[in-house]
Structure 1
Amino acid sequence: MSTIDSLFVTRLYRAALSEHGKPIDTSELEASCWSIAEDDEAGQEWCEENGYPGYTSYASLTDLPYRFPIFKDLVKVLDKHVKTFAEDLEFDLDGRKLKLEDIWINILPQGGVHTSHIHPHSIISGTTYVAVPTGASAIKFEDPRLQMMMAAPPRQKSARDALRSFIYKAPEPGDVLLWESWLRHEVPVNMSEDERISISFNYSW
């Protein structure tokens, strides 16, 4: 009897932040993001110089958990989610723990995009969502084998998720998504009139 197996699976973790640890007040988190963005002149200048739409603290602030207690609380919760995901991935960590490498704010205005990229120096990457207005972009993930499918026909529109070339996930405020850092992803154009606010992060070994 013939069999068809799935090989080399790509895992995507999705959960509510509240599933692990202390509940995080997203309204307080949003207020903190705006306060940091307004005060972070270096970040504003970097965004302007590099043509980055809206605001990110990626290139300017490396100590958010020390600046605002709510970010410290957030990291404690994220640590638990990442631990759960790492166990699912069956990593052999040799008794070591994955540690937060960096965490940053993203405020994407109407018309803003975040082009396709990976996080090459990390193990697990992710985003938690603070404000996702109606019409805001879903996050788009790309099949990592795509560049090798030189003569492959397109998939049927009804193809199951595991066989699609691209997967879109529309998060809700308070959600956290985790993936292995080699997985290419992007944020398409924000069609909402309101800002899409998220907090991204990397964990390393």
Structure 2
Amino acid sequence: MSQIRSLFVTRLYQAALSDFGPGVDPAELEASCLSIAQDDDAGQDWCEQNAFPGYTSYASLSDLPWRFPIFKDVVDALDRHVASFAQDLGFDLGDKKLKLDSLWINILPEGGIHTAHIHPHSVISGTTYVAMPEDTSAIKFEDPRLAMMMAAPGRKKSAPEELQQFVYVAPKVGDVLLWESWLRHEVPMNMAEDDRISVSFNYGWE
């Protein structure tokens, strides 16, 4: 009798940020993101110079938890989510641990996209969602083996999710998604009139 197993599984973690740590008020977090974006002239300049749609603090601010206490609450919760995911992944961390090494705000306006990318030099990456207006973009994940499937046919639309070559995930406000940093992902065009706001982050091993 034949046996079929799944090998080399790609894991995706999804939970409510509030599952760990104190509750974070989404309205306060959204107001903080918008306030920072408005005041961050260096970040605005970087976005304009690099034709980056909307706003990101990735290249300009590295101390959000110090600037606004609500971001410290976010990080405290993320630390616990990441630890849970690392356990699920079976990581052997030895005497080291996974530690936050970057945290940044993304504000994606109508018509904006974040093209496909990975997060080099990190172990776990993710995003927590602050504002997700109706009809805004899901996040799109790509099968990491896709470049090697040179002669493979496409998958049926009815194929199970774990066999699809692309998977779209539509998180809710307050959700956190985690994935291993080598997993290629993108945010397709925001078709909503309102801004799509999220806070992204990387964890390294040290």
CA distance in 1, matches of 2:17, 2:199: 12
Q: Distance in 1 between matches of 2:109 and 2:49?
A: 17
- Return the alpha-carbon distance in structure 2 between the equivalents of residues 161 and 118 of structure 1: 21
Name the SS of the counterpart of 1:75 in structure 2: helix
- Aligned partners of 2:73, 2:157: CA distance in 1, in Å? 42
Q: Which residue of 1 aligns with 2:96?
A: 96
User: Which segments of structure 1 move beyond 6 Å, counting only runs of 4 or more?
Assistant: none
Query: How far apart, CA to CA, are the structure 1 residues paired with 2:132 and 2:95?
Result: 37
Amino acid corresponding to residue 100 of structure 1 in structure 2: L
> Which residue pairs with 2:20 in the alignment?
20
Q: What amino acid sits opposite 1:93 in the alignment? A: L
Q: Which residue number corresponds to residue 82 of structure 1?
A: 82
Q: Look up the match of 1:32.
A: 32
Q: For 1:34, give the aligned amino acid.
A: L
Please name the residue that 1:176 is paired with: 176
Rounded Cα–Cα distance in structure 1 between residues aligned with 2:34 and 2:24: 16
Q: What is the TM-score with the length of structure 2 in the denominator?
A: 0.99
**Shift in Å at residue 2 of structure 1?**
1.1
The whole-number CA distance in structure 2 between the counterparts of 1:104 and 1:18 is 19
1:119 maps to 119
Counterpart mapping for 1:1-205 below 5 A: 1-205=1-205
Instruction: Name the % identity.
Output: 72
RMSD of aligned alpha carbons: 0.5
Deviation at 1:97, TM superposition (A): 1.5
1:95, CA displacement in angstroms? Answer: 2.8
Q: Which runs of 5+ in 1 are unaligned?
A: none
Provide the secondary structure at the position in 2 that maps to 1:84: helix
Deviations 1:40-86 (A, max 9, x none): 00000000000001000000001101100000111000000000000
> What is the distance in 2 between the residues matched to 1:20 and 1:70?
14
How many corresponding residue pairs? 205
Runs of 5+ consecutive residues of structure 2 not aligned to the other structure: none
Separation in 2, partners of 1:81, 1:157: 32
Counterpart residue type for residue 15 of structure 1: A
After superposition, what is the alpha-carbon deviation per residue over 1:132-175, rounded to whole angstroms, capped at 9, x for unaligned?
00010000000000000001111001010110000000010000
SS at match of 2:13: strand
Q: 2 CA distance for matches of 1:73 and 1:20?
A: 10
Rounded Cα–Cα distance in structure 1 between residues aligned with 2:95 and 2:176? 25
Distance 1:121 1:195 in 2: 29
Distance 2:95 2:196 in 1: 38
